[in-house]
Each structure stands twice: as C-alpha cells, then as structure tokens.
A and B are shown apart, each in its own frame.
Chain A
C-alpha cells in the first residue's frame, strides 16, 4: 500500500485530510503535527506522497519543500502544498521550489482525491 505523509499543525485539518484519503481506501497515511516531526518521519518511512501545510510553527512548508527537493532520496516524491489563500508570492515560491501542486483551502475532498490519484495511480 502506498503511503502518504501529511504535515499539518491543525489536528482538525489533519483528520479531514486523512479521512479524505481514507475514503479512497487505497492509501496508508502518516501524520506529522509540524515540520520537525515530518523531518523525523522521512528517513524512517518510505513515503510515496507528501502533503504539507505552508504555515507551521517550526519550519515553514516552503522550507520543507526545499529540503525534500534537494535531497537525493525524496527529490522525486510528489509533494502538494496546502494553504489558505494568502500570499501569492508564497504560492509562486512553493511551485518554483518544486511542489507539484498548490491546493488552496477550502478545497473539496474531490479536488484532493483526484490530485492524489493523478500522482499515485
């Protein structure tokens, strides 16, 4: 089963994303409550897709994208940024750094599901 890492500091948002993914019934999920936790999980688990929030308390989502894209082991791993519409510049930066998609909250479960299917199936 393919595995999806979700880095998001809001527990409600995280469980919404997880339940959206669970509804597909095809993927396993790993949750990180912040960027540090994501960094901890990455070397331990083989992850097939990463979904990260942009505003997290320790390192921001952009930094996580940059880290992942500059790392031999994960540079090919698909990565989506999720953010509340906010700074257009942050969005451009995220995509420039190599995020595969930039989802703006509120998004529908369908949007997220079809994106996941596009990259994983």
Chain B
C-alpha cells in the first residue's frame, strides 16, 4: 500500500471507528436503561459485541495494538455477557462505559498522531475484575434437540447460545420455511422478522440452497411460546411452512432442513427460470444496493461549496450585465437574456441549497457525545443527573457542529460542576435527588438555538459580585445590574483558581466559550434564577460560507451585513434620535433600540461631521437572540449573495469584522461581525458605568 493510500485508509479507519463508537455509546445507554428495567435485549448486547469486534478487527489491520487489545478485552467481556457467563451489574456497565471512553481517547489521539498511546493497565485491570465473576459454566451441547446438523452446523456459537436460552425458557423451537421474490427479499424478511419478534426471538435466518431464480427461500429458526398453528395465524401467508421441533404433528418430516420446494402463492404468476429477464428488472431491482449512503470527506464538500460560491458570483456578474443591456439596448435578445438569467438564478439557488443540505447533519450526533460527558462528570462528582434531549433531529452544518462541541461540553460540565447540587443538598431543598439537564435544539429562521437548562441552584449575583471585587474587576461599592452580573461571568479572568481545580484541571472560562461561539458568528446568552436553575442559550447560524448580505455604505467604504441578522431597515431624520445616558437610541414600536454609529466604530468620524448634519440617516436594525440594535449607515445599497472568506489568523484581532467577501465586480468588501459588534457595544456600555 502506498503512503497516500494508507493515509486515506487511516482517515476511513478513524471515521468508521468513530461511527461505531457513537453507535456503541448509544446502545450502551439503551442497555443501561434496559438493565435497570430488568430486561436486556439479547440483540442489543450482540450488537455491542459486534461493534467491539469490528473495532478490534480494523485496528489489527492498521497495527494499532493498543486499540486492538482494548477492543479485544471489551469483546471478551461482552462475549461472556452475551453467552450468559457473567451477569449484568452496574459495575459491569460502568466498566464498559469507561473502556469505551478510553477507546475514544485512543482513536481521537491516533487521528492527529498515529503513534499516540497511553497506559491502559487501569482499564485492563477493571475489565479483568469484572470478568473474575465469570462462572465459566459450560453449556450443554444441543444434542437433546432433534435439530438437523445441517442447521446446527451453520449457527455461530452465539446463535447456539440463544437457541439454548430459548429452550431453557421452555419455548417452542420452530423452523419456518418461506420464499420471497429476489427483488425485495431483504425488505420482506425485515418486515417478517419484525412481526415474529413481537412473539419470540429470531435465532437465525438461513438462506436455503437451491437455484436462485426469481425467488429465494429462507429458513428462520424461531423460538416462541406460540404453537405451530399460532405462527400460521400470526403471519397469514400461504407459502409458509412451519416445522416444530419435538412436535409430532409437524407436517414436515424433513427435519434435515434444507431444500424445500415451496408452492408459489396462487396470486403469483409462475415464472419460468428460462425466461429472459427484462432489462428493467435487472437494473431496477437486482443491482440495487442495500446501503444507501456514501461517506464523503468534508474537504470535498468545502470545495464544492466554494465552487458554488464562485458560480453565485458569476451569476451576479451576468445579472448586472443583462440588466445593463436591458436599459441600454432593450431589444428582444436582452429581454431573453434576463429571462435566462432568472432561470439560472433559480437553478443555482437549488444547487446551493442542495450542497448546503449535504453538509447538514442532525445535532443528535453531538448530543449523544454529551451523554457520555454527563455520565462521566456526574459520576466524578457523585451527582445524579438525568439528561433530557430534545430536538435531536435539528440540522446544522457539520463544521459548525464540530466547532460547537467543545464549548457545549464546557457549558454542560459547568452545569453539573456548579449548577446542580449534590443529592443530599437537593433533598434538603425539596427537589428530586436526580438533577435534570435539558439539552435542546430548535431552528429559528436562519439560526439554530441550542439550550442547556439545568434545575440546579442558579447563579447567585451576590457571589459573582464578591468574586469580581476580589479579582479587582469591579469597585467594592459598585452597584451592578443583572445584565452586568451576567457580563462578568463572561469576562476573561473571572474563572478563579479554585474553579480550575474543580474542573479537574480542565479549567476553561466562560470567556473562552464565548469567544468560540463568537468565531462561529453566534451568540451566547445566560439566564438564571436562584434556586431554580440556569439556562445557557447558544444562537448559531445554520451554515457559514455563502450568505445573503445587505450591502451598506459608511463614508466612502462599503460593508456587508449578513441578512440573517437584519430585522428591518429604517430611514431616520436626525430628530428621531434621542439620548439616554450618553447613548443614542431610537423608539421603535414602543421599544427603545440603542444605535451604533459604524462610522465612529471604524474611525471615520471626520468625514461624518463634515457631510452628514443635514442628511437623512439609514439604520439597519439587527437582532440576535433577544438583543436588538440599530447600525447607523449612510446608504443602503441593496441585497446580494456573498461568499465569506476568512481574513486569516494574521488579521483575527480586527474587531467587528467577520471576514471579507467578494462582490461580483471583483471588489472586495468587509463583512460585519454583527454578534461581535453588539457584544462590543454592550461591553463598552457597561464600561461607562464602571
């Protein structure tokens, strides 16, 4: 294998194992609930076993011995579990979760450095301890059952165990023979299995030997309390043939299993195997793949997105030319060109939406990761936490999901660390011992709002104030409004030393979280009631890259304001502006909206004074979360699609600018960072009081 191939393969390895681990985590959660409720689904345990098994096999191929070893030990434990050699216990589940976390750490490590590893003795020991409880009982072979060897021979060890379990439960063991149309046997079998599972356990599904023509026969080994007749009644199929083991009434003497000519159902046209197939049949049905997804590298999607972006710009240029032709020449051709441009525009919009859709993933993936964090942190802290998830189907750009995962993790850690009380304390306050964290997502227009709501002790403003005084952030005698208290929590340096140790060395202040969210052009909000709990709200754009923008002129410069944050635009006379505590505000439908003069922000005041005293002003009212603000500009130039390009690290210190965008006419303009500007304005307002 060449280097290039192997790095590609490594990528695939990481992405597949990540997927497996996410599924494992989800299954383990379900299993943990099922065990609590007293019954664990054998399919679930088997699924988890298969997951660990796959990871082991894959890691082995890549020479990742540590991953392979760990997965192997997990697999052993799960194997004992599914074969009934060890019993379920909380300790066992905790060990599995712990092992899964270490596995995740290893895989994450390898994604940046193939040589990454760490000492696994502890996790190995824990698994070993759980396995010591292994009673090592050997199952009695299935000799007593009169099941043909042809069948027993194809059962894996696990399936044998399930067969025995069913026998132990005194269930009847049936062999169902049934045939299906080749074009749809997988769906038909899945449906049938679903029905059967309601009344028992499908132990194995075996394809019957024989020529595969238009139809294919299957035998299903099935354990159920139902009698033979009960199965006929349950499935209501004419072409069904049931053999019940140890049942004399069974109408099929052929216990040996294979090859059974089942009659075609009467409704079916008999098909001669010699009849040539129509092309439609062979193309439409037989070659259809069962898995309907493809895995795509996000970089490829970025590239596509960029191309679409360039296309949108080219379209803009064509639109301008065709409009010009229409006004200057105004002949039939120019009218046609306008029509054609409109149609191009619509198609492009669809393309853009399509590409954007591909990048969208349900936020549930991220939420699932959070369940792991909640479990770990609550165990560390000895707190009981119920994590409730809502809106997991809400979709968000894959890259945004990636970038929001760390901030979200910190917020949730904070909620458990600082928000939720210990069980004793909760009881004393008349709250249920188990705290609740509600993690929800919902789409609101062009934004997705993620909320982390806990029912903990809330944030005590007095405590925050004292801490801020200690840190020298505010003067001792200073009165603080609830908003100012909130802003303090997001100030750099507010997180104290002792909090860092609380977070077991992972001390990340809310200021960092806030900056991360701001980098995504998002906004963070916080509300808290003492004794009732705290809500942290993240408002994020659904996607980055191409945006519709309002193009405005300030002095001699042109800027773009992302349209998804523009609520409305107004034209004002100078008289409409009043002043509250040195802040300019306007009245807008009985609410007071503060103004921000962009010319002042960007240091263009001189021009402003010389030309604007008589002029009318334009205001773009922008809003994010619950906050509103008016940006004062000199002229509104219209709407346009723009492709945001990052300014790069070198210019990342420039405040108030989210990036640069190209207009169709090769002109580059700056895109305003609405969230950043609003935050800045709010901060300088509070600074006035200090």
Contacts and interface: CB of A to CB of B under 8 A. Distances in A.
A59 B186 contact: no
A16 B57 contact: no
B154 interface: yes
A113 to B, nearest CB: 12
Given A23-B1, A59-B206, A60-B154, A106 B186 contact: no
A60 B159 contact: yes
B252 interface: no
A59 to B, nearest CB: 6
B53 to A, nearest CB: 6
A11 B290 CA distance: 13
Interface in A18-36: 19-20, 23, 33-36
Contact of B207 (A12, A19, A67, A107): A67
Instruction: Identify which of B50, B53, B213 gathers the most chain A CB atoms within 10 Å of its CB.
Output: B53
A39 interface: yes
Nearest to B190: A58
Instruction: Identify which of A12, A66, A86, A107 gathers the most chain B CB atoms within 10 Å of its CB.
Output: A12
A13 B211 CA distance: 30
Contacts of A73: 211
Contact of B154 (A10, A42, A63): A63
B53 A39 contact: no
Interface string B198-212: 000000111111111
A105 B60 contact: yes
A16 B61 contact: yes
Contacts of A66: 150, 153-154, 206, 209
A71 to B, nearest CB: 5
Interface residues of B, number: 49
Contacts of A60: 154, 156, 159, 204
B206 A106 contact: no
Contacts of A15: 9, 12
A10 B153 contact: no
A62 B156 contact: yes
A93 B159 CA distance: 13
Contacts of B9: 12, 15-16, 19
B290 A37 contact: yes
Interface string A56-79: 011110111111011111000000
B648 interface: no
A97 interface: yes
A34 B206 contact: no
B605 interface: no
Contacts of B1: 19-20, 23, 109
A118 to B, nearest CB: 21
A12 B206 contact: no
B563 interface: no
A107 B60 CA distance: 8
A33 B291 contact: yes
A58 B54 CA distance: 15
B156 A105 contact: no
Interface stretch (B281-289, B486-494, B506-514, B626-634): B281-289
A121 interface: no
B161 to A, nearest CB: 11
B216 A72 contact: no
Contacts of B16: 10-12
Contacts of A90: 156-157
Instruction: Identify which of A36, A64, A93 gathers the most chain B CB atoms within 10 Å of its CB.
Output: A36
B155 A55 contact: no
Contacts of A83: 57
Contact of B289 (A13, A37, A39, A106): A37
A57 B63 contact: no
A67 B208 contact: yes
Contacts of B210: 70-71
Interface in B288-314: 289-291, 295
Interface in A45-61: 54-55, 57-60
Contacts, number: 133
Interface in A91-111: 93, 96-97, 105-107, 109
Contacts of B189: 36, 58
Given A59-B207, A96-B153, A44 B287 contact: yes
B13 interface: yes
B258 interface: yes
Nearest to B207: A67
Contact of A36 (B54, B157, B185): B185
Contacts of A40: 182, 186, 286
A25 to B, nearest CB: 14
Contacts of B50: 55, 57
Instruction: Identify which of B58, B79, B150, B295 gathers the most chain A CB atoms within 10 Å of its CB.
Output: B58
Contacts of A87: 156-157
A82 B157 CA distance: 16
Nearest to B17: A12
Contact of A97 (B60, B75, B154, B211): B154
Contacts of B208: 67
Contact of B63 (A16, A69, A106): A106
A16 B63 CA distance: 13
Contacts of B185: 36, 39
B180 to A, nearest CB: 11
B154 A105 contact: no
B453 interface: no
B154 A12 contact: no
B258 A62 contact: no
Contacts of B206: 59, 63, 66-67
A114 interface: no
Given A12-B13, A37-B290, A90-B157, A59 B205 contact: yes
Nearest to B259: A70
A37 B61 CA distance: 24
A54 B159 CA distance: 13
Contacts of A13: 54, 57-58, 61
Nearest to A107: B61
A43 B213 contact: yes
A106 B290 contact: no
A32 to B, nearest CB: 9
Interface in B122-156: 150, 153-156
Contacts of B154: 60, 62-63, 65-66, 93, 97
Interface in B174-206: 182, 185-186, 189, 204-206
Nearest to A66: B154
A84 to B, nearest CB: 4
Contact of B53 (A16, A36, A71, A86): A86
Contacts of B211: 43, 71-73
Contacts of A54: 156
28 contacts: A10-B16, A10-B57, A11-B295, A12-B9, A12-B12, A12-B13, A16-B61, A34-B290, A34-B291, A43-B182, A55-B54, A55-B156, A59-B204, A59-B206, A60-B159, A62-B154, A63-B204, A63-B206, A66-B150, A66-B206, A66-B209, A67-B206, A70-B259, A71-B211, A71-B212, A84-B56, A87-B156, A105-B57
Given A40-B286, A89-B157, 9 more contacts: A9-B54, A12-B16, A59-B204, A59-B205, A59-B207, A62-B155, A65-B154, A67-B208, A70-B210
